Amino acid sequence: MVARDTHLAARAVPGVPLLRASAAAGLLALLVACSGGSGDGGGGTASPASPTEEPATPTASGSPLALTAGSSVVGLPEGVAAPPTGAVAGASRTSDPSLIYVITFGSSTCPMVADPEALATGATAVEITFPEPTAGACTADYVPATSVVALPDVGSGDLQVLLGPAGDVTLPAGSDAPEWVIDQG
């Protein structure tokens, strides 16, 4: 009896190495095109950022933010100064005692916007929740986003605000100054 080779991978098939090389070259070209490639990008005028440039300091958005639960804007609320270095989230009271500003940081195209209503977790404490992030592509910038959030009836004293996974702050009674969660890492 004669042994037969039944494994296709072990057989030499004319033209397969050329076909594989062509497919690999095509895949490489596609990956380079999708990633922006390396080079001048076809005549674009953008220049690469210098590694010594400082990140941009967040500034007020210039667009007034409506004091309505669920309103949001990319930027800081009017009148709020740039946060301290390392701030990852913050909150402040508004001119309406039933609303607060919630400030988060992240991509300008996928801002982390708070749910419109806070959840009471105690007599003087609330939790801010956030919807699940969408599965789209986001820019790699790092900017503030401000949401207006309605408070449950929690009194008029100091207010502890849990800002999701970022941490918590305490808003002093009668103060509209922002309080910040600072990254300790």
pLDDT tens digits, 82-97: 999 999 999 999 999 9
Mean pLDDT over 34-49 rounds to 38
Q: Is residue 15 part of a domain?
A: no
Q: What is the value of pTM for the model shown?
A: 0.67
pLDDT in tens, 100-109: 999 999 999 9
Strand order in the sheet with 72-74: 72-74, 143-150, 99-106, 87-93, 179-182
Q: Which domain holds residue 130?
A: 71-179
Report if residue 54 sits inside a domain: no
Tokens of 63: 């667009």
In this predicted structure, the answer to whether residue 185 has a pLDDT above a threshold of 60 is yes
Question: Count of domains in the chain?
Answer: 1
